[in-house]
Each structure stands twice: as C-alpha cells, then as structure tokens.
Chain A
Amino acid sequence: MTDRTSTLNRLALAALCSLVMAACTPDSEDDYCNHHYLYHADHQDQVGNFTANLDAGGQLLVTVELPGQPLASQLLENPGNVYQVSSETACSSAEVAIESIENGTRASYQSDCGSDNRVEQINVGLFDSLDSLEEVEVVITTPAAQKHFAISRQCDAAIFRLQDHRKAP
C-alpha cells in the first residue's frame, strides 16, 4: 500500500469516526417528552381528554373531559375557551352540553361546518384557559384518518404511540 493510499485511508476512517461521534452525542431534548409515551398509562386516568370528530358531512363533534376539575363547567360553557375553527366558510355556532362526571366535568360541542367546506385549522385553547391543566390525551378523527396522542405543557410536540391499556375510541 502506498503512503498516499494509507494517508487517505486514515483520513476516511477519521471522517467516519467523527461522524459516528457526532451521531452518538446525547440529544438535549427533554427526556420526559421523549419517553413519556412509555409511562403515560400510569397516569392516564388523571389527565384530561380531548376528542374531535369531523365527519364527511362536515359535522364537528368535540368532547372534553376534565377529571379533577369540578369547577371548570363555567369556563367550558364558552366554546371559544376550548377551541376555535378556521375554515373556508364559517361553521355554525356550537351546541354546548355540560355534565358532571366523577370528580370532574364533561363538555361536548356540536357544530356544522358543511360538506363542501374545508376545515383548515382547529386552535385548541384549553391550556391557556385552564392554568392547572398539565396534560390531555387526544383522539382526532377526520374522514381520512384518526390520530391518538397526548399533549403536555412540558413538551412542544405531540406525544404519539401512547402505550395505553385502553383502546382509543
């Protein structure tokens, strides 16, 4: 092997090692957010639930359950405190139903967005309305897909692949 070849071999190996080292450097992201999906089941019953179901006819049904928040009913009476829909044409005003559940509150909202209307965005303002709310488990269903995840105040991204013991609705 010539000197030049062995130098190039060494350079290539050095580049490989530096890439591997770069790849193996621990990430600074919060461990809690990265690993919460594994432990979510441990406190699943204590967190809030948010479900939204948008069907092909444009009917939007949103349900919120807040265990441990018996006094939240007044706040939940105003759908604007819970969510706001942005769509090509405005959806109808939501019909609101509030009920008490064991040590908590359940609210449901039904509105008609129209079958030809495209819902572009749903802003969920629950966390801003309820300072004490730390986490919600979410199931959102559209005519095309369903997603199940958790949103925690500690994390800036949704937590997917929840290893829960309950089936998503």
Chain B
Amino acid sequence: MKSILKFFAAGEDRPQLTDAAEIDRQFHYHRRNIIVFMTVCYGLGYVCRLALNVVKKPMMDAGLFTPEEIGLIGSMLLYGYALGKFSNGFLADYSNVKRFFAAGLFMSAMLNFGMSLSSVLWLSAMLWALNGWFQGFGAPACVVALANWFSHRERGRYYGIWSTAHSIGEGLTYLGIAILIALPPKGLGLPWQYGFWIPAAICVFAAWLAYRFLQDRPQTLGLPSVAEWHHDTVSPTRPTTHSPSQIWRDQLKVLAIPAIWVIALASSSMYVTRYAINSWGNVYLQEIRGFDLFDANLFIFLNTAAGILGCVAYGYMSDKWFAARRPPANLIFGLIELVPLFIIFYGPANSYVLAAALVLYGFGLSGLLASLGGLFAIDIAPKKVAGAAMGFIGIFSYIGAGLQDYISGMLIYKTEMKVVFQMGEQSATVFFYDYTVPVLFWVSASVLSIILATSLWKVKARD
C-alpha cells in the first residue's frame, strides 16, 4: 500500500537548475506538452465516460437490460463521478498528476472493457460506478497541472483551451462511437460490444500519452515555480489566520444561505434535463422518431457543440449587458433553452427544425450551466468559501442527474410492450416504449429550474 501511495505521490523538489536558457527551454517544452496532451487526453477520456449512452439502444434491443436497469447503471456513473469530484480533488493536490491522471484513464479503460463482458445487473452497475469514480480523476489532475505550469495571469486562457476538451470528448463519443456501431453506409455496423472496446483502447492510449507527456510540479524537475519563471507579480499570500476547524465552520455557513439552496435545486433540476438529453435523447430519437443510431447521435452532438458558444455568450452577455447581474441573463438563456425543448418534443417532425432546436437548446442550456453551476454561485457565496459552495452545488447537481437516469429508465420501462416472434426453441423480441411521461418529466425539470433561478432576481452579489 505504501509503495502505491509513494508511486502516486508528488515528487520531491530537485536542486534548482542555474542555466536560465535551459530553464526557459524546459518550461517551453513542458508547458506546450502539458496544455496539448492534457486537452487531448481529457477529451479522449470522455469516450470511456459516455460510451454507454451510445450503445444503450443496441443493448436494450438485445434484451440485455431493461430501460430501468440501464437507467440504474447509468445513474451509478453519475453518483461515482459526484463522489469522485469530492474525494479526488483532495487526492490530486498531493499527487503526481501525470500518474494520477494516467491511472484514472487506464482504470476507466479496464472498466469499459469489463462492461462489454457483463450481462449481470449488479456487476455492470458496480463497474460503471467505479468508472464514474475513476473518471473523476481527470478534472482535478488537469486543474492541478494548470496551476503548477501556468501563472495566474495566463491561467484563464489556458483553462479556456482545456475546457474545449469537454466538447471534443462529447463530439468524439457521439459521432465516433456512433460510426462504429451504426449500420453501413453511415457506420461500420459493428456489434455493440465495440462501443466499449474501442473507447477502452482509446483510453489506454490516452493514459499512455498522459503518462508520457504530462509532468509533475516544475520544482521536481529542478525548475523554479511558474510564477518565478514568469516574473508574475504574485500577490502576497493571505496569512492563514484560520484554523482548519474555523474554515470548516465557515464552509458550513454556506448551508445557511437560502439562495445557495435555491441555486442548488435549480442546478439539480437543470442537470435532470441536461443528462436526460445526453443519456436518453439518442434512444428517444431512435425509438420514437425513427432515426437511425448515427443520425440520433449526430443530433445529440449538435447540442453539445452549440454548448461551447453558449458558455462564452452567457459570460459576455451577463457582464456587458446586465452589469454582471446573472438573473436577467438566466431568464433569457432559460427561455432560449426551454422553447426549443418544447419544439424538440412537441414540434413538427422535420429534421431541420429538430437540428435547429437542438442547437438552440444546447446554446441556452450551456449558458445556464455556466451560471448555476459556477458564476452565480460564486457571486452569492462569500469568497473564502466559494469552493465549498461550488462543491455543494456540484454534488446536488450530480445527485439530480443520477436520480434522473434511474427515474427516466423506470418511467420508460413502465410503458414497455413486447412483440415476441416464437420460432420453436428460439424467439426474437422487439420492444416498444412510450416516452410521453419521461418527456414531461424532463421538460418540467427545465421549467422548475428556470422558475427557481428567476426567483433570485433581487439577490445581490457579494464582493
């Protein structure tokens, strides 16, 4: 156990190099590697997180799991991820991030491989929960690497570059894995198991890249801190006059702020819709709207791609048009999300209308996500416990997302109608579902989220 902990622990500082040119050369080399491979690896890691979403329908068609069981398995990843977000943040602070991140990717790959072999509910649920936990290694490791290798003044733009990995990863999954499974001519027509095998292979490759190209702290290579190297004007560290118990007491005070609870509920409701579309949207489009697997995933990809613009536009609009007041922007982006949602589910059966609605929906949802999952919470919470507020809202959100996955699956399963073609000893079964109630659940969650967010119209930001 000790040797495992030692393997993952951050390295010791080495005597500092004295050759300024060599220090410059190493910083340039490692920083380029870190931002490129951190973004690439985080994006590639997404395919192991979302693989189940793409192969859900083929697995249901094969009679392997009912929608309720698939929903339960899917929810386990979100619970595991929520737990991972909480625990792995602490672990990453003490770890050599290249090993930590690589281990997370490698274990996620193994768990995807395991999923392809399991047809047992409890085993699949356990594998997928563990996958969620190991997926939670990625973000903290990348944030620590950013903090170690990029100075305060430049961190924003490098954070922005790394953030594109979310959309790259979602795009890779919804299109890349769909190409493997979808029937020719759009796809390769491979069995659904390839939807886990190829992501596993990709994540092993990503783990190798992370291990090869990311780096521990600069000081472990004999380099100065990035702030020293960058001649950054570092504001003197605020003296920590508070004891850990005092900090804990301050963090608990977050729970006494009613607006934080309202944001947590609003964010949780929004995550219901967000993950409903990401988890069940492509199944709905195949089951009810009759699209093939490739087209259904292409539609879902459109909403995730539009999300990049939504995040940027929300920040710009709320800062410039409303003097950093979030509630008016929340309402606008909420409506941009909600109206297309009605069009997606109750609008005309036209592919172009559906595509446009999904783009708008993704744009609006991402804006709201940026606000409720971050900006608005930071505005309202006292700055010294902003992290605790974010953590509280994050866990609430993922619990909402996880509950959604199970509830949606259960609601879908309740409507199941089977048509069984008996052929002597063997039989072929085709399943039919009605999404009327689940869709109502998803849209209602969105309406509730917007009402809750707008109810904080008069809440003022704290300095």
Contacts and interface: CB of A to CB of B under 8 A. Distances in A.
A93 to B, nearest CB: 20
A124 interface: yes
Nearest to A1: B212
Interface string B189-224: 111001001101100110110011000000000000
B191 A23 contact: no
Nearest to A14: B204
A146 B290 contact: yes
Contacts of B106: 12, 15
A144 B204 contact: no
Given A121-B418, A124-B419, A161 B292 contact: yes
A34 interface: yes
A9 B428 contact: no
A82 to B, nearest CB: 11
B440 interface: no
Interface string A4-46: 0100110011011001101100010100001001100000000
B186 to A, nearest CB: 10
Q: Interface size for chain B: under 10, 10 to 19, 20 to 34, or 35 or more residues?
A: 35 or more
B120 interface: no
B171 to A, nearest CB: 21
B290 A145 contact: yes
B205 A37 contact: no
Interface stretch (B319-327, B431-439, B450-458): B431-439
Contact of B184 (A38, A120, A140, A156): A38
A110 to B, nearest CB: 18
A145 B432 contact: yes
B420 interface: yes
Interface string B273-295: 00000000000000110101000
B204 A124 contact: no
B434 A142 contact: yes
Given A140-B432, A144-B433, A147-B430, A122 B420 contact: yes
29 contacts: A5-B211, A9-B212, A12-B106, A12-B207, A16-B208, A19-B200, A23-B194, A23-B200, A27-B190, A27-B191, A121-B418, A121-B419, A122-B418, A122-B419, A123-B422, A124-B421, A127-B422, A138-B421, A140-B419, A140-B430, A144-B288, A144-B434, A145-B288, A145-B434, A155-B428, A158-B430, A160-B61, A160-B183, A161-B183
Given A145-B287, A157-B428, 19 more contacts: A12-B204, A19-B204, A23-B197, A38-B184, A52-B419, A119-B417, A120-B416, A120-B418, A121-B419, A122-B420, A127-B423, A140-B419, A140-B432, A144-B433, A144-B436, A145-B433, A153-B423, A155-B428, A157-B62
